[in-house]
Each structure stands twice: as C-alpha cells, then as structure tokens.
Chain A
Amino acid sequence: MTDPLQRPRRKDPLRRTTLGHVPPRLRSRAAMEMATHAAQGRFVLQTCESCDRATYPPRDRCPNCWGELVWREQDAGGQVAAETTIRHSTDTYFRNHMPWRIGTVRLDAGPTAIVHLHGEAGVGDRVNMVLKLDRGGNPALFAMPRGDVPNMQDDPQFRSFTADPKHRRVLVTDGRTDTGQAIARALLDAGAAKVFVGDCAPLMRFAGKQQLAALDGAELVPLDVTDTHSVGNLAAQLGGRIDIVINTAGQVREGGVAFGAKLSDLQAGLDTGVVGLMRLAQAFGPALGARSDDGVNSAAAFLDVVPVSGLSGQSGYSGTAASAAARLSLLSGFRGEMQKAGIRVMSVLTGPVDDAWHQRLPQPKTAPSHLARTVVAALRDGQEISCAGDVAKDLFARWRADPLLTMREENR
C-alpha cells in the first residue's frame, strides 16, 4: 500500500517557498498532439494507417513501412522490464524531487516505453498505463499498479500529475448556485482541507446558504467577479492560501442574436463570464504560480466550469454561448501562461444544468451533483478537459469529429 498523505503542518512563514520549476518543456509537434489526447484522459499511441502497427516515441512516419501515423486509443496494459531510482539530476525541477523512479515497460500494444513508476509498481509487475500531462502541460506515461492499492492516489510522484483536492484549500467562486454548493460539498468529501465559497451579495439571502455555512471546512467569503476590487481584495487576503480555484461564476440567459435577445444580458454575461475570468486570472494566477511546488498543499490548478455551447454556439442561447466561447479562448491563453509556472488550467465543459435558467430545454440536463463529481474527478485525474453530462459528451464528440458540422447542427 501507499503511505497515506499526511495533512501538512502550518507553513513556516520565514522559509523561502520552493520555486515552481517545471520539467523540461521542449517537445516535438507529434508529442504536442499526444498532449491533446492526454488532456482528455485517453491512452493513445500512434498507429500506422497502412500496417496497423503501434509505435512510440512519437514519430512522423511509421518505422515499419513508412506509412502515415494516426493517434488511436490502445490497450493500456504493460509489463515492467527494468526500473531505476534516479537520485541525481541536473534539471531544476527533478532535482527538488529526488529520488524519482522510472522504468522500462513493454506495452501490450507493442512498443517499449520509458515511464514514470508508481511506488507500488516494479520490475516484473503487470501495470496499467495512464497517459497524463506533467506540470508543464506535456504528455507523460505513468505506470499504475493493477488492482486496488490503498491510498494509490497519494503516491507523491503520481500526485504531481494530478490536482487532487485532498489536503488542499479551494476557492469556489460562486456559492449562490446549486452547482457551486454541490461542488463545495464534493470537494470536502474528497478530503479538501478548506473550501472558501464566494458570495457576490452577502446581504442577500440565497437558497442553501445556511446548510453551506454549517458545513465543516466551508467558509463563505465575499466575492463578486464583476468587481475588480472585490476580486483583488479577496486575492490579497487569501491568495497565498488557496491551492485550487474553481470558477463556477457565469450567467445564463435565453435569447438569439437578432431575435429575442437583450444587449444588457449579453453585456452582463460577458462581464461575469469573460471579464470575470480575466479578473480571477490576474488576481489569483500569479499567487498560484508562485506556490506550484510548495509541498503537499502546493497550488495546483485553476478549473473553469464552462458551457459546452462555447465550442459551437447554441440556438436560443446565443449570448450565453458567445460568452462561453470567449471564456474558452481566454482559458487557452491562460493555460499556456500557467504551464510555465506548473499550474494546470482545466475546463469542465457542461451541458445545460438542471436549474431554473434552463427550464425551456428538454432532458437530459446535467444535475449539479453530477457536475460536482466531474469536477472532483477531473482534479483527481489531473484531466485538463472533461465533459459533465451526456449533452456535453455528445456535443464534444461531434465537435472533435467535425467542428463545422456541429456548429450548423447546434444553430438550426
């Protein structure tokens, strides 16, 4: 079994924080393609279109017949053939994390790979391979033990490939919604040390407020993402103590483009969803980045809950989708910036949530509790892009296959 992670002691304020270096970042374009699959939690290898043979490391042509290569999901089994414990490195990140175990794994899919080894996987063992993103946003193969190992998630090497909320302090930006409250509860259930829950209007009551306030480990804090001072004040107060930011703020309103829409709705939606995201990024991003290698409760992630309609637009919710699209665009930029600092910028794409603002839409809709489970799973897996609910999954799959067709379908 893996030793359970101990809750960290209070930080010594006189100690200099370890700088958040990232592992070597230089990669080929093919490796970057692999990263896009890792971001979605898929275990893929390149396969030759002509001879069907799988290959690794990432190549640009098949080494068997020089055919074209495509990324395909693969059998994730393997066997460890050799291992080593690295005790010396010239790299600034790994040097701070010695010793580090790696191994050579013969993949059931065919090729041999050098991989990170879970503490409970060693020579001769059958392993389950997972494709992760490292702190720098690059693809990494990790060998996990087969079967249930107690505290498997607590392996210190594995933890650096996730943003597991256990023992971490989290800010949920909007606690006035069912979604925000469900996420706060799920995080505490997952072992979060503390969940700060934003309330944009502390003087106005909202449903669930009392239950939230009564939750052990939850604390309501004033936070209005449409107010730069409010965001700045909270960051000044809590920035150095927040390890994960989960942005649940957003505004959903019905309406088309030429028909049935109010400009004020669009403006308010953009201010909350888009400008709000940038306010949060500017206020909390640098603080997260400065603490990305700060021990068990190092800063780990910024997760944005965003409507999947941002990918395609959506008839009847055009303004909401436009705001989501702008948000996704900002997230891409933010992700690129934070990769250099060792912080994961994650998105959970959601279909219409089963709430008052989506009454007109038919089922299936995404239950807040399901959305919360998806958020926690994304953090525990370190998965950059996740879909919450069947609608989001369906739309995302169609969009991956044919973005232009999906846009037409969603806007008929």
Chain B
Amino acid sequence: MGMQARYDGVAVCAPITVPYVRFSPESAHWWTGAALRALGQKTGLNAGDIDGFCFASFSSAPDTVVGMVQHLGLSPRWMDHIPTGGASGIMALRRAARAVQCGDAEVVACVAADTNQIDSYRQTLAGFSRFSQDATYPYGFGGPNATFALITDNFMRQFGTTRETFGKLCVAQRENALSNPLALMKKPLTIEHYMNARPISDPVHLFDCVMPCAGAEAFLVTTPDKAEQLGLSTARILSTIERHNAFADDTVQFRGGWERDQEALWDRAGCGPGDVQCVQVYDDYPVIVAMQLADLGFCSKPGLNDFIAANEFTISGSLPLNTNGGQLSAGQAGAAGGFQNVTEGLRQILQCPLGEQVSDAHRALVSGFGLVNYDRGTCTGAAVLQREALR
C-alpha cells in the first residue's frame, strides 16, 4: 500500500452547529435546511453556489441525499450519502476533499442532521440493521447500551481498565461542556456522581451513556482560493484513514480499524500523537474513547489507566479532549453526533470555539467510529487537521 496522496488544493472551513434540542417535532429535512441556512449566513453562499452535497442522517427515511437535494432546492454536480453515523464526519470529509481536489465539485456542503421525535429513538433502534433485528435487539432490547456494555465488560477484564479511568474522561468532558452554551448537559459532574450513578446495563452506568437529541452539524469543503474569496478561515487536511469491518474474528471488539491504519495516518501527517493540541474522538461510551486513544498511538491498552491518570483532558489540560463536551455532554444528535469531531476540531484550530479556546491550538486529531451493525462498531476513520489561514 503506497502512501496516501496529499490533500493539496483543499480547504476545510465554516463549522456549523444548529443548537440541539432533546425532542423535536420537526423532520430531518427541517434540520438539514436549518444547517444549510446557517452555512449560507456564515459564508454568503446560496443554493446556486453549492455544487457538491454530502449528507448523513438516520431519520430522513424514506429520503436519501437525492430526496434532500430536491427538498432543499440544491442542484449539485456531485453528491454522496453517508449512512455510517459516528464515522460519517470523517468519511464526508474524505470524500468531499477528493471531489474538490479533482475538480468534480468546487463548493461541497457536508451536512449531518437528525431529528428526535417522541418514540423515534425506539423505532430507529427496532429497524436499525438486519443483524440487529435478527440477532441483537430481540436479546433484551438494551439498544447500544447493551452492546457497548458487552464490549466494556470484556475490555475491563482484558486490559484492567477501571471505571475510575472511564469516569475521568466523562468528568473532563462535562467540564468542557460547561463552557459550551449549546451543550445539553449543563450540570457539573464529579467523579463521585459518575461512580454512584445508576447502572444501565452493567458495567455501563448512566454517565457512560449519551443523550439522544435532535440537531445538525455542517462544514464546507472547497478550494483555498474560493475560501479566501469568501473570507473564511481555513484548515488543511494533513492525513486521513478509514477502515470498515476490521478484525472481524475478534470475539468481542477490543480494537478498531485505527490500530491497523494509525501508522499510515501519522506517517502521512508527518507528526505524531504528541504533536496535536486537541483530540476530538467519537465518544458514545467512554470505552470507545479509551480504545481510540490506544489504537491511535497515545498509549498501550494495558497502559490506559496510567495514561489517563497522568493527563488532564479539560480544555486547559495536557490533552484537551472533546472540547465541546462531546456527545456525552453536548448531546448525540444521531448522525450529527458523527460530525461533532470535525466541526469542533475545526473550531479549535480556526479559533472560533463554542466554548473556551484551547490555547495555541493549530493542529487537531479527529476520529470517528460508527454503526453498530451487529455486535460492534464497524466503521472507523481519523484525520489530522491543521490551521492554514485565519480570516
């Protein structure tokens, strides 16, 4: 496998978050429109200027990207639909970047939007995937909580990772969320609260779980020239990886595709885990945060307890992590949850965070994990982003 081609001629800009709400009577179409409107207001672009559209959602059925294009009056010459939830941000970034680089499109709006109507969470789960219909949900119907409980149970036994270790990550993310006015979880969380929370599906407890909500996230991928013309701050992509259904023979998931590809990621980026100022990773359950830290090269898995004890993950800490609060504290708006890593990573390095700024942040690691099709997350991806121009 040769080294990945550079992302020259590609600019990533204009991170958008449409404020989340716990329940919404509106549709995914409404939320997508809200994201496009916010994107238009920020960039001055209108529908006719957007010639590429990349879309992710769980709740837009029966429509896919094409339905959304007509619904919202777009006429792109390139479009893509990314149905991979927590991995959709990275995947949208990769696809849009290559489309722009190769001239298939010039201005690509990447949007993830999901609504959360009363009872739509249960319905989404019930029809989520064929394997889950046949082989997971009829088994107690614990939803992702139960699946990740099995993964967490095995992980704790295999590597000795403790609940306190997971708790430290959750507590730090909550502290980060307190400075983010859009975060849904506004109550401070202490390690005592975390440890004493009620069990949901052992060993997963209340504060290990995200709050499903409605919301939308978006960003723009275009050329550096176009971004300059629009007066937008930009980031460049140093490197990306993506992998699906890795290590399918592992009895219980204890690693993701990152483990297989992280060397290529850092080689192409020309830096290492110590050279990023913030880390934005998929965080539906802290075990997955820990798994990513290890798989992306920050430490070994048996070393997670020590690594996490030795670092601070708050905005002012030694390794600022999920600085908007992540899905655990900002809320999980379906597929939009899978875009938070990209939008928040961008915000920090473009110096326009929702909450507090990580000092000197100019390079971010973002990582995605998505789609529990059966007993594990199938899709993984990561990217290293670096500030190019502040405007």
Contacts and interface: CB of A to CB of B under 8 A. Distances in A.
A115 B252 CA distance: 13
Contacts of A87: 198-202
Contacts of B199: 85, 87
A1 interface: no
Contact of B153 (A28, A83, A140): A83
Identify the interface centre among A88, A123, A140: most chain B CB within 10 Å of its CB: A88
Contacts of A26: 126-127, 133
A48 B147 CA distance: 27
Contacts of A102: 139-140, 142, 146, 150
A90 B121 contact: yes
A107 to B, nearest CB: 10
B133 A106 contact: no
Nearest to A34: B134
Given A56-B135, A57-B374, A58-B135, A82 B126 contact: no
Interface string A67-90: 000000000000001111111111
Given A57-B374, A84-B204, A85-B201, A24 B146 contact: no
A103 interface: yes
B201 A86 contact: yes
A90 B204 contact: no
B231 interface: no
Contacts of B146: 84, 86, 102
Interface in B131-146: 131, 133-143, 145-146
A246 B198 CA distance: 45
A86 B143 CA distance: 10
A220 interface: no
A116 B146 CA distance: 12
Given A24-B133, A58-B134, A89 B251 contact: no
Nearest to B126: A24
Interface residues of A, number: 39
Contacts of A103: 150
Contact of A27 (B134, B145, B204, B374): B134
B130 A90 contact: no
Nearest to B148: A84
A104 B135 contact: no
A104 B375 contact: yes
A91 B139 contact: no
Interface in B335-391: 374-375
Interface string B200-227: 1111100000000000000000000000
B154 A90 contact: no
Contacts, number: 119
A320 interface: no
Nearest to B150: A82
A56 B134 CA distance: 10
Nearest to A157: B140
A92 to B, nearest CB: 9
B151 interface: yes
Contacts of A116: 139-140
Given A88-B145, A90-B122, A140 B140 contact: no
B96 interface: no
Contacts of A134: 138
Contacts of A31: 133-135
A190 interface: no
A15 B159 CA distance: 49
Contacts of B200: 87-88
B378 to A, nearest CB: 13
Nearest to B127: A26
B141 A82 contact: no
Given A58-B135, A83-B153, A90-B121, A114 B375 contact: yes
B133 A27 contact: yes
Given A82-B150, A82-B153, A90-B122, A112 B135 contact: no
A299 to B, nearest CB: 21
8 closest A-B pairs by beta carbon, nearest first, are: A91-B141, A84-B149, A57-B135, A86-B142, A100-B140, A82-B154, A90-B122, A31-B134
Interface of B: 121-122, 125-127, 130-131, 133-143, 145-147, 149-151, 153-154, 157, 198-204, 248, 251-252, 374-375
29 contacts: A24-B137, A26-B126, A26-B133, A31-B133, A31-B135, A57-B131, A58-B134, A58-B135, A82-B151, A82-B252, A84-B150, A84-B153, A85-B201, A86-B142, A86-B201, A88-B145, A88-B200, A88-B201, A90-B143, A91-B122, A100-B140, A102-B140, A102-B146, A104-B375, A112-B251, A114-B147, A116-B139, A123-B157, A140-B138
Given A57-B130, A57-B374, A102-B140, 8 more contacts: A26-B126, A27-B134, A28-B134, A84-B203, A86-B149, A87-B199, A102-B142, A115-B139
